């Protein structure tokens, strides 16, 4: 592409993935978030729920000063507590819904237009339809709750991210075709919902960029890019660990990012009407032990720039 990416997209990064020491919402949250806020390459950042009101206020102040678009990552608390939005037991499902409500509250506190979530584990063939019904109910309840908090303004959107079905997270959603079917159901009741897709998950799902993005296009409001490794199960990067670009034996590099960007352009993502002020593309990368967060972030920026202008 000849046009500068700054004109078309917001470039973001998932803070708790890039800086694992801050992944639980405590620790060096503000120091590491400042590293991102001080880098004018980034115009968006994704944060998980803060562990205290003081940290939340520090985030709000810092990100407001830096004029960054914020997205709340609701996935880490769900995963950490093993909560399931498609649980067949309603009390377990309601526990997951209650957790995401806290992330929605955080989004309103930060001025974030999107909360990203994920489904729970795939219940298997016999119960998959029941799981879809439960997940539909959860997303409708969450979208309604968000609208109730909006006070006449644009409500926060709930964006469901597609994850692998068979390798690591083993989620109900899951294949992109099933995600699109789910969105069709949910949108019969609410409008403030959409899909997040991730280049990192593409090889884990066994899909191509064309398959994933063309299928998701009517519902796509948020995009992640990253790498994947599925060779040796004892490798720290195996599965849904989002290793750096260039990790030995990994699957996504400049060529894969270039192809992904080309398809995003073709489906109209860069002109799409989305909750954020421009479409977001966020890096999801995580250092393995011994690697530098700052170095892998710099590497990701280099890959993105090369891929963008090749796309």
Residue 25's pLDDT is: 87
85: containing domain: 5-310
Run of H or E including 216: helix 209-216
Which of 164, 162, 205, 158 is CA-nearest to residue 186?
Answer: 158
Intra-chain end-to-end CA distance of the chain, in Å: 5
Task: Find the CATH number of the domain harbouring 63.
Answer: 3.20.20.150
Structure-token pair, residue 285: 């990368």
Q: How many beta carbons lie within 10 A of that of residue 91, not counting itself?
A: 7
Which of 213, 48, 25 is CA-nearest to residue 117?
Answer: 48
Binned average pLDDT, 10 residues per bin, the chain of 311 residues:
96 97 92 98 98 96 98 97 98 98 98 98 97 98 98 95 97 98 98 98 97 98 98 96 97 98 98 98 98 98 98 95
Instruction: Please give the DSSP secondary-structure letter assigned to residue 281.
Output: E
Which of 286, 161, 164, 159 is CA-nearest to residue 226?
Answer: 286
Which of 102, 101, 108, 100 is CA-nearest to residue 70?
Answer: 108
Residue 109's pLDDT is: 97
Beta carbons within 8 Å of 148's beta carbon, 6+ residues apart: none
Residue 56's pLDDT is: 97
Instruction: Please give the DSSP secondary-structure letter assigned to residue 11.
Output: E
| 213 in Cβ contact with 260 (< 8 Å) | yes
Number of domains into which the chain is organized: 1
Q: Give the number of residues written for the chain.
A: 311
Report DSSP letters for 132-189, one per residue.
HHHHHHHHHHHHHHHHHHSTTSPPPEEEEEP--SSSSS-BSS-SHHHHHHHHHHHTTT
Residue 231's pLDDT is: 96
| 96 in Cβ contact with 120 (< 8 Å) | yes
Q: Could you report the per-residue pLDDT of 229-261, keeping only the tens digit for each?
A: 999 999 999 999 999 999 999 999 999 999 999
| 72 in Cβ contact with 110 (< 8 Å) | yes
| 286 in Cβ contact with 236 (< 8 Å) | no
CA 188 vs CA 5, 102, 136, 176, 220: distances in Å: 34, 25, 10, 19, 17
Q: How many beta carbons lie within 10 A of that of residue 174, not counting itself?
A: 28
């Amino acid at each position: 592409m000849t046009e500068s990416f700054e004109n078309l997209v917001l470039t973001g990064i998932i803070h708790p993935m890039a800086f694992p020491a801050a992944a639980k919402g405590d620790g060096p949250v503000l120091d590491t978030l400042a590293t991102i806020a001080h880098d004018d390459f980034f115009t968006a950042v994704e944060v998980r729920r803060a562990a205290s009101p003081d940290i939340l206020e520090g985030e709000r102040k810092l990100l407001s000063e830096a004029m960054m678009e914020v997205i709340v990552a609701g996935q880490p608390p769900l995963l950490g507590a093993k909560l399931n939005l498609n649980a067949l037991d309603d009390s377990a499902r309601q526990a997951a819904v209650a957790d995401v409500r806290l992330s929605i509250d955080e989004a309103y506190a930060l001025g974030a237009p999107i909360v990203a979530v994920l489904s729970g584990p795939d219940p298997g063939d016999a119960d998959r339809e029941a799981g879809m019904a439960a997940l539909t109910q959860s997303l409708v309840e969450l979208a309604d709750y968000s609208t109730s908090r909006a006070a006449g303004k644009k409500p926060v959107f709930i964006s469901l991210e597609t994850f692998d079905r068979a390798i690591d997270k083993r989620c109900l959603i899951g294949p992109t075709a099933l995600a699109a079917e789910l969105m069709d159901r949910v949108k019969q009741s609410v409008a403030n919902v959409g899909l997040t897709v991730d280049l990192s998950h593409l090889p884990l799902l066994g899909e191509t960029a064309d398959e994933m993005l063309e299928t998701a296009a009517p519902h796509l409001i948020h995009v992640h890019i990253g790498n994947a490794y599925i060779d040796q199960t004892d490798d720290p990067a195996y599965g849904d660990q989002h290793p750096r670009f260039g990790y030995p034996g990994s699957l996504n590099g400049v060529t894969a990012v270039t192809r992904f960007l080309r398809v995003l352009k073709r489906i109209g993502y860069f002109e799409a009407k989305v909750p954020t002020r421009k479409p977001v593309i966020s890096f999801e990368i995580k250092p393995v032990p011994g690697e530098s967060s700052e170095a892998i972030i710099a590497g990701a920026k280099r890959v993105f720039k090369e891929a963008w202008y090749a796309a």
